[in-house]
């Protein structure tokens, strides 16, 4: 792969981080611009391209490559690569192990943060279906676990950007997603390539179909706050 000059590094200034931490705590989500750039972003995009082509062109199938098959076309549509750090992609594995997302997660959660799960979310052009409203999990208090989505492509309403029910991370686990939708305003949240969208795992969220000709890919890593032993 050609080397590129190192682009602007990925350290948001302190004010931006404080704003994002407060937004995540109060609204349940935050956008932190330009966390990954330049050669690192280029490398992650190349690895994602390779894995997607393995599925679409080489016919590779595995329990980690989640897909659906529309009856209309009969063609498999890839939508998620699970256990992404174990698919032989070195830069992606590095991103899961340490680096800018770990630093960001620690700032956002206010303590050391551990990466738990890593996936590539893929919204194929013209074929990706909507993801219905859901909460990732509610078995942990608000502010203790978040998903960071690193966007590899620009994300807009027409290619299926994320949509959040504001402040719904504060709702009790028993409250249904339908009830949440009646009370919490929905916010569409776009992003540029290299941006991170953080959301509390408890927030209700969804995404629309990709009706555009542009692919929308994001690497999603769940981080959990780790307690200090001396507390």
> Where on the chain is the footprint of Ni ion (CB under 5 A)?
136
Give the whole-angstrom CA distance, residue 28 versus residue 197: 11
User: How long is the chain?
Assistant: 231
Using the minimum distance from each CB to Ni ion, give the nearer residue, 114 or 136: 136
Q: How far is the CB of 83 from Ni ion (least distance, A)?
A: 17
Q: How far is the CB of 168 from Ni ion (least distance, A)?
A: 12
Please check whether residue 72 is in contact with residue 39, taking contact to mean a CB–CB distance below 8 angstroms: no
Pick from 70, 71, 51, 72: nearest CA to 62: 51
Task: State the residue number with the nearest CB to Ni ion.
Answer: 136
Using the minimum distance from each CB to Ni ion, give the nearer residue, 136 or 158: 136
Using the minimum distance from each CB to Ni ion, give the nearer residue, 153 or 200: 200
Please check whether residue 90 is in contact with residue 51, taking contact to mean a CB–CB distance below 8 angstroms: no
Q: How far is the CB of 134 from Ni ion (least distance, A)?
A: 6
What DSSP element (H or E) covers 60? none
Q: How far is the CB of 175 from Ni ion (least distance, A)?
A: 17
What DSSP element (H or E) covers 132? strand 131-135
Give the whole-angstrom CA distance, residue 226 versus residue 201: 15
Using the minimum distance from each CB to Ni ion, give the nearer residue, 147 or 159: 147
Using the minimum distance from each CB to Ni ion, give the nearer residue, 80 or 214: 80
Q: How far is the CB of 90 from Ni ion (least distance, A)?
A: 27
């Amino acid at each position: 792969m050609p080397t590129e000059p190192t682009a602007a590094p990925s350290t948001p200034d302190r004010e931006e981080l404080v704003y994002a931490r407060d937004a995540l705590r109060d609204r349940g989500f935050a956008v932190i611009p330009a966390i990954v750039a330049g050669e690192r972003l280029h490398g992650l995009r190349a690895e994602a391209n390779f894995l997607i082509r393995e599925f679409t062109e080489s016919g590779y199938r595995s329990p980690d490559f989640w897909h659906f098959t529309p009856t209309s076309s009969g063609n498999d549509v890839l939508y998620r690569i699970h256990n992404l750090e174990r698919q032989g992609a070195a830069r992606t594995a590095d991103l899961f192990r340490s680096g800018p997302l770990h630093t960001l997660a620690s700032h956002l959660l206010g303590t050391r943060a551990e990466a738990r799960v890593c996936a590539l979310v893929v919204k194929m052009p013209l074929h990706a279906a909507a993801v219905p409203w859901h909460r990732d999990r509610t078995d942990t208090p608000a502010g203790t676990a978040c998903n960071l989505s690193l966007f590899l492509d620009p994300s807009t309403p027409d290619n299926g950007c994320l949509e959040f029910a504001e402040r719904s991370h504060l709702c009790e686990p028993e409250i249904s997603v339908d009830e949440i939708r009646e009370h919490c305003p929905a916010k569409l949240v776009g992003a540029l390539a290299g941006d991170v969208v953080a959301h509390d795992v408890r927030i209700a969220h969804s995404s629309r179909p990709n009706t555009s000709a542009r692919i929308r890919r994001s690497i999603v890593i769940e981080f959990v706050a780790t307690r200090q032993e001396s507390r």
